[in-house]
Amino acid sequence: MLRQKETGEATKKHITYSKMGSTEINMTTFWKIFKTIVLFFGSAVMGIYCSMIGPLLPDLKIMVNADYEEIARVVSARSPPFLLSTLMGGLLSDSYRRYVGLILFIAQLVAVIGLVFTPWCRVLWLLGIMFFLQGTGAGPFTSGGNAWIVWLWGADSDAPVHSFHFGWGLGAFLAPQLTKPFVSETFTWRNETRNNSRIETTNSSDGDDGNYTFTFTTEGHPLYPYSIMACVTFVYSLLCLMLYFQERNEFMNNKTREIEMDQKDTSDKENNTTREDQIGHERSDKAMHRIKQALSPSSCGRGETAFGIQMSILVFTYHFLIVAGERSWGQYLYSYSKESNLGFTSADSSDLHSAFWLCFLIGRGVATLISKWCPPNIMVTGELFALLACSIVLFSFPHSVLVLWVASCAFGFFVAPLFPGGISIYNQYMDVTAMVLALSQGGAGLGAMLWNWITG
């Protein structure tokens, strides 16, 4: 269970809320649900623009005149800024909680810049800069958004956390369908000589039998999906800005109530002046104290520094390993099926990619439903054994189309709950702060960077 130390400030806030009317309490509940929905929407948006690179990878490769090894390095360019911005976003979110909405707004604007200019890049290094900006914008959302969900729901955050990550799966499922009308397609024709008449359509021949084949590749249009997602991401950034102003107004209202309570409890005006001076001195050191507390391992280790360090290492390692496989499979499944000798067309590869993310989405949905009754450690253990079985089957039958379909769907279903399941597990043993979530996302970013490079 998530445990929080009750300070004098928290006690005063509790008293303030106890004096609120039923209408104000209902509005508080409304905003809590609304913020969760907005974060769910943002997770879906990020799932789309992070996952649509998979179907668009062959067209981006052609656009910058590169091979898969070179384009894999560019894709990996998203991970280092993602890692750093996740850590920075976690630190800022922990230190300035009421500014999380503003932090997410700025981060999404950075991502919008990367999305807008990606389809206009014609050289590899410039495309790498655009991916760098996309990774920079995505990082603070993962740490700040996850932490926001935990702060909103506290000990009851298991289902909201799973639903938050369910949004990412929904976006990843929609990504191949969004890009499907705009990807390139390769068509192959075969002409055969009949009745001593022949129509030559190409200079390449299969042999001396007069049979000819030729291929034609349509032009891809990555401009359209990237432009669509840039607009949607910009709209979401405005929602984050709106939530920032709502929380700012809520904070000011609560502050006004606290001042009124202090004035009622204090009969002497001189005591009021003394109290205001005391508050001024406290505020001067508050920012530095918040930063030190956010960086201290004891803040998540419930006062025990050694335990906090051990758990932080486990959190980083866990997400490094699980996301490495997830991102590699999700990014290259489309290209692998299309470029291999399995007979997949662009439409078939898009459908396979969508099937993988659909099962990923279903896996997160099922995990959200059963997380209320099944302990997370049991769920994660079962999912890991299922993934091991999928890997063995794929390795044993590498040239089977049926096995690729079935194993891809099973892989997506069982890998999906691992990320939120990990958060639920260590939420039982440590205080989940934004920095802890930043470490998890940092491990995920580093794993994605290394394995994207290796896979390419």
**Residues pairing with 190 in the sheet:** 213
Is 153 among the domain residues? yes
Let me know whether 196 and 303 are in one domain: no
Mean pLDDT (the chain, rounded): 75
Let me know whether 143 and 199 are in one domain: no
Question: Cα 130 to the chain's mean position, in Å?
Answer: 18
pLDDT score, position 202: 41
Contact assessment for residue 446 and residue 453, using Cβ atoms and an 8 Å cutoff: no
| 26-35: pLDDT as tens digits | 767 788 888 8
Let me know whether 70 and 113 are in one domain: yes
**Residues pairing with 187 in the sheet:** 216
Let me know whether 340 and 380 are in one domain: yes
Let me know whether 364 and 386 are in one domain: yes
Is 260 among the domain residues? no
| 101-128: pLDDT as tens digits | 899 999 999 999 999 999 998 888 999 8
| 285-303: pLDDT as tens digits | 555 555 555 555 555 556 5
Let me know whether 435 and 375 are in one domain: yes
Let me know whether 65 and 14 are in one domain: yes
Top pLDDT among 39 and 14 is at 39
Is 152 among the domain residues? yes
Is 269 among the domain residues? no
Let me know whether 46 and 172 are in one domain: yes
Let me know whether 18 and 84 are in one domain: yes
Q: Give residue 19's domain range.
A: 8-184+219-252+291-455
37-55 mean pLDDT: 88
b (16+ CB within 10 A) / e for 127-161: bbbbbbbbbbbbbbbbbbbbbbbbbbbeeebbbbb
Top pLDDT among 399 and 259 is at 399
Q: How many domains does the chain have?
A: 2
Let me know whether 48 and 174 are in one domain: yes
Identify the top-confidence range among 137-146, 178-187, 363-372. Answer: 137-146
| Token pair in block for residue 267 | 């009969």
What's 349's domain CATH number?
1.20.1250.20
Is 231 among the domain residues? yes
Q: Rg (Cα) of the chain, in Å, rounded?
A: 26
Rounded distance between C-alpha atoms, residue 301 and residue 30, angstroms: 32
Is 206 among the domain residues? yes
Let me know whether 229 and 139 are in one domain: yes
Let me know whether 35 and 179 are in one domain: yes
**Residues pairing with 52 in the sheet:** none
Could you give the percent of the chain with pLDDT greater than 90? 14
Could you give the percent of the chain with pLDDT greater than 70? 72
Top pLDDT among 296 and 17 is at 296
The stretches of 296-416 forming alpha helices (DSSP H) are: 305-339, 346-370, 376-396, 401-415
pLDDT score, position 216: 55
pLDDT score, position 269: 44
Is 39 among the domain residues? yes
pTM beyond 0.85, yes or no: no
Is 1 among the domain residues? no
